[in-house]
Amino acid sequence: MASTDGNLATVYVCITCRRAEDPDAEPRPGALLADATVRAARGSGVAVRRVRCLANCTRGPSAAVRANGGSSSWTYIFGGLDLAAASALVDGARLLAAAADGIMPWRGRPEPLRRGLIARVPPLDFAEEDQP
Amino acid sequence: MASTDGNLATVYVCITCRRAEDPDAEPRPGALLADATVRAARGSGVAVRRVRCLANCTRGPSAAVRANGGSSSWTYIFGGLDLAAASALVDGARLLAAAADGIMPWRGRPEPLRRGLIARVPPLDFAEEDQP
């Protein structure tokens, strides 16, 4: 797939994000976070893709993380990120890429990806859970 | 992919969801929403998959919607859903499946999927947006 380019995982950073209290000025905090994440990802095997709007606007800045190399990774959405979260996003992406079950482990997960968790989405090959 | 079974789209309903003010009792509101969505989806071409936790716990009940038949559909996560949202989820899934650009249109989108939008995730083949 064109967007993965053989990388272990991809971080999608919303470049239109700002906090509610931020002025509507350029560059947006999301764009700065994207730049910082690109820098943090250098040499890490993690791709960074800028995206216009992850629809998490009231809880931004936002990013999503997904492992590549298959369709079995969950995708995680995070919010309330600041610039210090750039390296956390890259570390979390690597953690997810190393998880055999496609789930980002809680243990070892960087703090901004714990408190900033918004939601997660099943992989394409997700099979229905057993009924309780 | 095993989970799509030739269906137009898939709705993933969190069966562990409850609202903060709900008692911790079975069946969970999310499980009831899943049952209602299965009924609403009959004959619609939309698959329904039960999932344990979409990590949107403080804003549940939750569901995610993705179109099948390719890797070019965005995935949408919704929260604050009640039983009346079951048919909205199915209608929204069909709307997304019919969208050539993989984006669920706002026009015609059922009301519970407007006010309940939590976030969206790019498709696997997402290409980076142009820089501003």
Beta strands in B21-131 (DSSP E): 46-51, 63-67, 75-78, 117-121
pLDDT in tens, B3-19: 456 789 999 999 998 88
CA angle B78, B84, B85 (to 5 degrees): 20
| DSSP helix/strand/coil, A117 | strand
pLDDT in tens, A29-71: 999 999 999 999 999 999 999 999 999 989 999 999 999 976 7
Task: Mark yes or no for CB contact B54/A119 under 8 Å.
Answer: yes
Task: Mark yes or no for CB contact A131/B50 under 8 Å.
Answer: yes
The predicted pLDDT at position B70 comes to 65
> Length of chain A, please?
132
The predicted pLDDT at position A22 comes to 80
| DSSP helix/strand/coil, B93 | helix
The predicted pLDDT at position A2 comes to 39
Contacts of B75 in chain A (CB under 8 A): 75, 121
pLDDT in tens, B65-108: 999 976 789 999 999 999 999 999 999 999 999 999 999 999 99
Least CA distance to B26: which residue of chain A?
A132
pLDDT of residue A3 exceeding 50, the answer is: no
Tokens of A13: 């950073």
pLDDT-based confidence at residue A108 (cuts at 50, 70, 90):
very high
Contact residues, chain A to chain B, C-beta under 8 Å: 1-4, 12, 15, 26, 31, 49-56, 62, 64, 66, 71, 75-77, 79, 117-122, 124-129, 131-132
B6-20 in b/e form (b: 16+ CB < 10 A) is: ebbbbbbbbbbbbbe
The predicted pLDDT at position B125 comes to 87
pLDDT of residue A20 exceeding 80, the answer is: no
The predicted pLDDT at position A5 comes to 61
- Interface size A-B, in CB pairs within 8 Å, comes to 112
Least CA distance to A79: which residue of chain B?
B119
The predicted pLDDT at position A1 comes to 38
Q: From CA B123, how far away is CA A43, in angstroms rounded?
A: 24
Tokens of A31: 């764009």
Q: From CA B51, how far away is CA B41, in angstroms rounded?
A: 16
